[in-house]
Amino acid sequence: MRKKSISLGKILGIPIGLDYSWFLILFLLSWMLAVSYFPIEFKSWSVAECWTAGIVTTIMLFVSVVLHELGHSIVAIKYKIKVKQINLFLFGGISEIAGEPPKASAEFWIAIAGPIVSFLLAVIFYGLQTITVNLPFLFGVFKYLAFINLILAIFNLIPGFPLDGGRIFRAIVWGFTHNLHKATYIAAMVGRFFGFFFIFLGVLQIFNGDIANGLWIALIGWFLESAAMAQLQQQVLEEHLTGHTVAEAMTNDYAIVPDDTTIQEVMDNHFLGIGRRSLFIKKDNQFIGLLTLHKIKEVPADKWAYTKVSDVMISHLETQKVDVNTPLWDALTKMDKNGVNQLPVMQNNEVLGVLSRESLITFLSSQGLWGNKKVA
């Protein structure tokens, strides 16, 4: 799988990842601080001092964001929820938590922990600022960090999902209604509202001549809106898949070839023209692996004539598969988790069919979710 982030090691057993987009913000923020904020605030500073302060401040902000995320993660771990990783990207940090919190109170405390950490950091940096009045460099860095951590705490408390405030809001609605679906729906709608509101504010600022800030605010708004929308779509999808099993959505449109078939043969007979994306491989009538178009692409075309499918296939031991009775939602989650587009449907090591994203869409249209538009 393609790696989009750099690993920075682990804290409390949680892997910390740095998305490449973070470097853009590292540069932009250091630059903004070095050429605009510090020269205005501290007129006697040299260019070198402004840049050093800019870079140091940005790195300290990065540490602050990691601490904010660790706040979420530590509370999640207290509730026995696994934290997969903390990722830092263009708009800040994200703690990737496995699954939904088990109850409203867990979600509430996990969500509020981050802003509490940011608020405490603001207080600590404010304290440091007051005792370094005679040390202009440290004073300048601490002053900005106190300010930006306070902004982080307040911004994250805006009640629009997926911001922390949106999660707190969802937890409260969840606690009162005892209905997670309803709570998610309401919180995501409010999240979309705030997304559009930020886009509107950004555009307004652009028209007022503040292009850089306006663009930034509009971009954050767009990010919030699309995250809230993705949450809504997932919700609708989950509702439509709940209560159905793999057996209802799998197809029997698959092919099995013997293990000694060559790549060239399967390309000619199964992939080209027919448009199949995967094949099952058997040996002595036993399923032994899965061959995907993706895997074939790793072999140079001039070797196809004498490379056997068994040399390129994904062994059945490594193949992600599902049982006919697996709930559809679990199967889709498995596809997403493993980054695959199809899953062999098995029973007692025998192939019964394939569940693919296409077959899921076909199933959903048959359920009236897509494609059956009413014409007046």
Closer to Zn ion at the Cβ: 78 or 178? 78
| Residues binding Zn ion: number (CB under 5 A) | 3
Closest residue to Zn ion: CB criterion: 114
Identify which of 295, 285, 273, 278 has the alpha carbon closest to the alpha carbon of residue 345: 278
Q: Is 166 in the site for Zn ion (CB under 5 A)?
A: no
Q: Which stretch binds Zn ion (CB under 5 A): 13-21, 161-169, 216-224, 252-260?
A: 161-169
Question: What is the smallest separation between the CB atom of 70 and Zn ion, expressed in angstroms?
Answer: 10
Closer to Zn ion at the Cβ: 107 or 164? 164
Q: Which stretch binds Zn ion (CB under 5 A): 164-172, 176-184, 241-249, 324-332?
A: 164-172
Closer to Zn ion at the Cβ: 86 or 354? 86
Query: Residue written as tokens 């300290």?
Result: 60
CB 106 within 8 A of CB 79: yes
Rounded distance between C-alpha atoms, residue 375 and residue 373, angstroms = 6
CB 136 within 8 A of CB 201: no
Q: Which stretch binds Zn ion (CB under 5 A): 139-147, 150-158, 252-260, 363-371?
A: 150-158
Active-site residue among 69, 225, 238, 358?
Answer: 69
Rounded distance between C-alpha atoms, residue 196 and residue 41, angstroms = 33
What is the residue type of 11?
A: I
Question: What is the smallest separation between the CB atom of 362 and Zn ion, expressed in angstroms?
Answer: 39
Bridge partners of 291, per DSSP, are 279
Question: What is the smallest separation between the CB atom of 210 and Zn ion, expressed in angstroms?
Answer: 27
Q: Which stretch binds Zn ion (CB under 5 A): 139-147, 149-157, 178-186, 289-297?
A: 149-157
Identify which of 18, 15, 47, 43 has the alpha carbon closest to the alpha carbon of residue 31: 47
Question: What is the smallest separation between the CB atom of 167 and Zn ion, expressed in angstroms?
Answer: 8
Question: What is the smallest separation between the CB atom of 356 and Zn ion, expressed in angstroms?
Answer: 36
Residues 348-367 that bind Zn ion (CB under 5 A): none
What is the residue type of 23?
A: F
CB 199 within 8 A of CB 160: no
Closer to Zn ion at the Cβ: 88 or 104? 88
Question: What is the smallest separation between the CB atom of 299 and Zn ion, expressed in angstroms?
Answer: 45
Closer to Zn ion at the Cβ: 42 or 79? 79
Question: What is the smallest separation between the CB atom of 95 and Zn ion, expressed in angstroms?
Answer: 7
Rounded distance between C-alpha atoms, residue 163 and residue 191, angstroms = 8
Q: Which stretch binds Zn ion (CB under 5 A): 37-45, 162-170, 275-283, 339-347?
A: 162-170
Q: Is 114 in the site for Zn ion (CB under 5 A)?
A: yes
Query: Residue written as tokens 């306006």?
Result: 214
Strands 278-283 and 286-292: what pairing?
Answer: antiparallel
Residues 252-311 that bind Zn ion (CB under 5 A): none
Strands 92-97 and 5-11: what pairing?
Answer: unpaired
CB 157 within 8 A of CB 126: no
Residue 367: phi, psi to the nearest 5?
-85, 0
Judge whether 298 counts as a catalytic residue.
Answer: no
According to CB under 5 A, which one of 164, 195, 221, 316 is a site residue for Zn ion? Answer: 164
CB 291 within 8 A of CB 314: yes
Rounded distance between C-alpha atoms, residue 180 and residue 186, angstroms = 10
Closer to Zn ion at the Cβ: 114 or 159? 114
| Residues involved in catalysis | 69
Residues that bind Zn ion (CB under 5 A): 114, 156, 164
